[in-house]
Amino acid sequence: MRDLSALPDLNLALVQTALAWHDRASNLAQFDSLLEDARGADLIVLPEMFTTGFSMESAELAEPEQGPTSVWMLRKAAQLGAVVTGSVIIQAADGSYRNRLLWATPEGELRHYDKRHLFRMVGEHHHYAAGAQRAVFELKGWRVRPLICYDLRFPVWSRDSENTDLLLYTANWPGSRRQHWNRLLPARAIENLCYVAAVNRVGTDGKGFAYTGDSQALDFQGEALICACDADGVFKVRLSAAELAAYRSRFPAYLDADPFELG
C-alpha cells in the first residue's frame, strides 16, 4: 500500500442541479453560472449526461470526440484551475455511441472513462456500447477511479485493485430507487477503504422520471462528510489523505482481500 500521509488534502465541488431536457446550450449556460461557486476546488464533479439528461436518443444527441462540450470543459478547467468531470453522450472514433465520462484538466489534457454497466431496464445497452476498460486518474497524488451510475451496483468493477483513494460516481439516479443509492455508496466506501464522492441530479426529466439528488461524499468508514439532499447548488468538501492513511494503517483489511481477474 502506498504512503498517503504526505499528500495534500483534496478539495471537491459537487454540482447538483436540474437538467434541461436535450438542451446542451441551456445546460452549459447554467453550469457556467454554477461553477463560479466552485472556485477553489481541485476537482469539480457534474452529473451523468449533464448536457442532455439521461437519454436513449444517442444518434440524435451525440457529440464527436473533442466536440463542443469537451472544448467547454477544457476551458472551464483552465479558468478555474481545477479538473472538471462529468459524463456526455459521445460518438467515438469507431462510430459507436458512448456514455463517456470526460476528465478535463487545467493543463489541457482530456481523458475519459466509458460506462461499463449499461442500464438494460430502459434499453441503454441497445443505444450505447459498453466500456471495456477501468480507469484511474491521478490528481495531486490521489488515485481517483471514475464510475457512472449503474456501475454502483457492481462491486467487483469498483474493487480497489489499484489502491484507489477516491471512488467517484456521476449519475442520473431516480428517486424511486433513492434507498439503493444511499445504501450502496457507503458499502463501496467501507469495502474499498477509500473515500467515495457521488453526484446525482434533481428535478424531472423529459420522460417524467423524478430525481431526488442525494449527492454526497463519504469517508472510508461510510460516514457522510456532506450530503446535498434535494437541494440545488455547489457543495464543497475537503478530503484528508492523512486521515485515510491512518485508517488504512489501523485497519488493513485490504491485506486479506481475495485475488481475482476480470474476464
Catalytic residue chosen out of the listed positions 63, 76, 124, 149 = 149
| CB neighbour class for 6 (10 Å; exposed up to 12, middle 13-18, buried from 19) | exposed
Using left for φ > 0, alpha for ψ between -120 and 50, and beta otherwise, residue 129 falls in beta
| CB neighbour class for 160 (10 Å; exposed up to 12, middle 13-18, buried from 19) | middle
36 assigned to active site:
no
Catalytic residue chosen out of the listed positions 63, 115, 124, 194 = 115
Output the CA–CA distances (angstroms, integers) from residue 241 to 6, 13, 37, 158, 235, in the order listed: 8, 17, 24, 20, 20
Catalytic residue chosen out of the listed positions 48, 63, 76, 124 = 48
**Cα of 227 vs its chain's centroid, Å:** 15
Residue 6: CA atoms inside 13 Å, Cβ hemisphere, count? 2
Cβ-proximal residues to 159 (8 Å cutoff; 6+ apart), any chain? 192, 257, 260
162 assigned to active site:
no
| CB neighbour class for 187 (10 Å; exposed up to 12, middle 13-18, buried from 19) | middle
194 assigned to active site:
no
User: Which of 226, 205, 196 lies closest to 214, judged by CA?
Assistant: 226
Catalytic positions are: 48, 115, 149
